[in-house]
């Protein structure tokens, strides 16, 4: 029988089936915990750390990624404490330095209130979120993509840099990649975030904790948008 557990996120009581991640529980309840590498239906890997939260136990708070954290009975989670917001902004600054020209990263920065990065710009075309690798492996059972290398040399690659026969030509790896979202036509002042996206910045100001079905979520297929899409097709 399905066992339900009750957790609190930012003071809101949420009841979910045991085994649900804290991130999914919060998103389902309409609490926006920003996320990047998370995708419904594939194994969470906790790669980007954008979804960090504090779990409070015995008066002590521990910071951890919420997409890889299972909801447990009585768990108390803070997703928008000052410490979490500070740490999340720092993580997004690092992502912005990695990929300042990515629309998804720019939007993510705007959503969490980051307007520029203090880190050296690298201008990569991949932030190692692993969405492509997992969709290829777990949805298409193709295993045509994988991570190679370590540290700063880590990257996503095809075996021997050649498209293998196992590739289904589904293009899902491209569709789910946050780097391939069509750039916005507005002025972009890299390394600063242009900040002209009313849909992002005004909502981030007005509703810092809440899922407001933002274009950022639609753009990189946040869990809530994916569920909405599935329901629409059902």
Q: Summarize as ranges the residues that interact with ligand SF4 (CB under 6 A).
A: 126-132, 135-136, 140, 142, 144-145, 156, 167-173, 176-179
Longest dimension (CA), the chain: 54
Min dist CB 231 to ligand FES, Å, is: 22
127 binds, among ligand FES, ligand SF4, none (CB under 5 to 8 A by kind): ligand SF4
The answer to whether 22 touches 77, Cβ cutoff 8 Å, is yes
| Nearer to ligand FES (CB atom), residue 88 or residue 103 | 88
Distances, alpha carbon 80 to alpha carbons 52, 88, 112, 209, in Å: 9, 9, 10, 7
Footprint on this chain of ligand FES (rule: CB under 6 A): 35-38, 46-51, 65, 67
The answer to whether 172 touches 180, Cβ cutoff 8 Å, is no
Min dist CB 136 to ligand SF4, Å, is: 3
Q: What is the DSSP code (8-state) at residue 172?
A: H
Taking residue 146's Cβ as centre, other Cβ atoms within 10 Å add up to 14
136 binds, among ligand FES, ligand SF4, none (CB under 5 to 8 A by kind): ligand SF4
Task: Say how far apart CA 35 and CA 19 lie, in whole Å.
Answer: 19
61 binds, among ligand SF4, ligand FES, none (CB under 5 to 8 A by kind): none
21 binds, among ligand SF4, ligand FES, none (CB under 5 to 8 A by kind): none
């Amino acid at each position: 029988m399905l066992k339900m557990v009750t957790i609190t996120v930012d003071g809101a009581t949420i009841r979910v089936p045991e085994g649900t991640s804290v991130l999914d529980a919060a998103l389902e309840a309409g609490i926006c915990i920003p996320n990047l590498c998370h995708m419904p239906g594939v194994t969470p890997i906790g790669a980007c750390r954008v979804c960090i939260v504090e779990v409070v136990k015995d008066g002590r708070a521990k910071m951890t990624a919420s997409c890889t954290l299972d909801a447990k009975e009585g768990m108390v989670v803070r997703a928008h404490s000052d410490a979490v917001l500070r740490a999340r902004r720092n993580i997004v600054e690092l992502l912005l330095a990695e990929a300042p020209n990515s629309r998804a990263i720019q939007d993510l920065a705007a959503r969490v209130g980051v307007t520029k990065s203090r880190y050296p710009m690298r201008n990569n075309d991949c932030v190692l979120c692993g969405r492509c690798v997992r969709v290829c492996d777990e949805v298409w059972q193709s295993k045509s993509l994988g991570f190679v290398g370590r540290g700063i040399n880590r990257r996503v690659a095809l075996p021997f840099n050649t498209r293998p026969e196992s590739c289904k030509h589904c293009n899902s790896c491209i569709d789910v990649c946050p780097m391939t979202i069509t750039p916005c036509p507005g002025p972009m002042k890299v390394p600063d975030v242009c900040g002209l996206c009313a849909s992002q910045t005004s909502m981030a100001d007005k509703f810092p904790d809440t899922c407001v079905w933002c274009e950022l979520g639609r753009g990189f297929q946040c869990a809530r948008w994916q569920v909405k899409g599935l329901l629409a097709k059902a």
